[in-house]
Structure formats: structure tokens, C-alpha cells
Structure 1
């Protein structure tokens, strides 16, 4: 199972306050543990919402809303993608994580849908398309790293 681990923003992350050297070192050690255990598949911090935008969909209409966004507690400051056997395993890993913010913080764990979760609606043709797209993305990433 894959899980997205969402680090919630706070006033400091939204103000662009960068983590301390100590926190970066602690997170680096934690990320190394995740990688060594085969858990971490991706992970990044995000710029403040003031540097972002949202696109609101209403039928065929699209409305662009520039950041910053008001509800800081609903914003994401960073994320990981983890591969774990269960939600309980993901929770156990997260409990070992250094606090990602200066004060109180909250981190959300959500399971990522896999192809088999979609049942018969994901036809063989749609599954083939999905597999082909994943292969192309992996090839592009390999080319970027070369």
C-alpha cells in the first residue's frame, strides 16, 4: 500500500520561514531511515501558498485564484509518499518523525488509490493506458537524472 503523508502548514511555513539546520539534520536522518527501510518513495517541502495558485472548476469554466490562501490550517507545507504494509505501519513511522514545525503541528496520512481499487470501471484498455503513462514518467525521470 502507498500512503501520502501530508505535513500541514503553519504561520511560519506560510511566511516562508525556513527550517533550522538542526531540524534539517533531524529530518535528513529520519528520511535516511525511511529510505533504508524501503518505505520512502518521494518527499518534498512546498513553497508558501503566496507563490501558488488554485484553479476552480465549474462545468467548462475555469477560474484562477492566486495565493496566498487564508486557511493556513488547511494548507500543505510538504509531503512524503511511503510504501507500507498498513496504515498502522505508516502511523508507527510517523510517530518516529521529528516535529516538522517550530510549535504544535499536524500531519495527515492518506492511502493512495492503486489500480485494483477501481474494480471493473478500470477496463483493460484504461489499465494499459495507466501502465503506459507510468512507464513514460519513469523513463522521463531516468533521463532527467542522467
Structure 2
């Protein structure tokens, strides 16, 4: 089972605040945690995200596209970082998150969401399209 693990943003992360000493300690702790994920074969990808002030959104309405510049409202709904993990089930993902060092300087939250797999679509998915999805997932050429 693949899951996306979101580190939720805080006012500090959105402001780009990184006190030097605490940042080094946090990065070292997170590096050790990531090493554990790698050794366990869980970590597929992951990274931190810059504040939403450096981002853009594209709003869709039929054929219309509107570009919206950051920063975005509702900090608690934003993502400051992510991991992509391969775990046996949601319980394993929760156990890994519980072992994670606090990713922020104060109260923080991590969200875990399962990814759709081709099998989730059952008969709705043509076999050839399912093969194409797997190739994309594995970064193979179509």
C-alpha cells in the first residue's frame, strides 16, 4: 500500500522561519528518521516545501484557467512537506508517523492518505490503461 504523508504547515513554516540551532537539530533528527525509513524499505520519495508565498495555484472552470499567486489563506490547510511511503497497511504508516520527530518548532500535525492503485478501479479500468498507469508510476517510457 502506498501512502502520501503530509507535514502540515504552521505560521512559522509559512513565514520561512528557521532558527539556526534548532533547525540543525531538527534536520539531524529528521535525517536519522529518513535513514530508518530507507533501511526499512518504506521511503519512496519526500521533501520539504517552500512557503506558499513562493507558490502558485491554477483554478479550473471548464476551459478557463486562472493563475493565483501565493501566499494562500488557511495556513493549517497547507502542506509544508511530504513523504511517499510503501507500507503494508495504514496501521504501519501510523506507527511510523508516531516515531517521527516533531517536524515543526511547536505544535504540528501530519496527515496520512492512501493512494489509489489500479486495482481500486476494478472493472472500470481497461487492462491496457492499467498497464500504462503502472509504467508511469515506475517512471518507464510509454
TM-score by length of 1: 0.89
Aligned to 1:143: none
Question: Over the residues paired in the alignment, what is the CA RMSD in angstroms?
Answer: 1.4
Matched, 1:100 2:84: no
Moved >4 Å (runs of 4+): none
* Distance change in 2, residues 1:138/1:30 (3 Å): farther
- Deviations along 1:39-61, one digit per CA (max 9) or x if unpaired, are 11111000100010111111111
Write out per-residue CA displacement over residues 97-116 of structure 1, whole angstroms, 9 at most, x where no aligned residue: 00000000010000011111
Aligned partner of 1:52 in structure 2 is 55
Displacement after TM superposition at 1:138 (Å)? 4.9
Distance 2:48 2:135 in 1: 28
2:123 pairs with 120, 123, 139, which one?
A: 120
Find the counterpart in structure 1 of residue 88 from structure 2: 85
Match of 2:9 in 1: 9
Structure 2 unmatched ranges of 5 or more: none
Moved more, 71-80 or 123-132: 123-132
TM-score, structure 2 as length reference? 0.92
Per-residue displacement from partner, 1:83-122 (whole Å, max 9, x unpaired)?
Answer: 1111111000100000000000010000011111111121
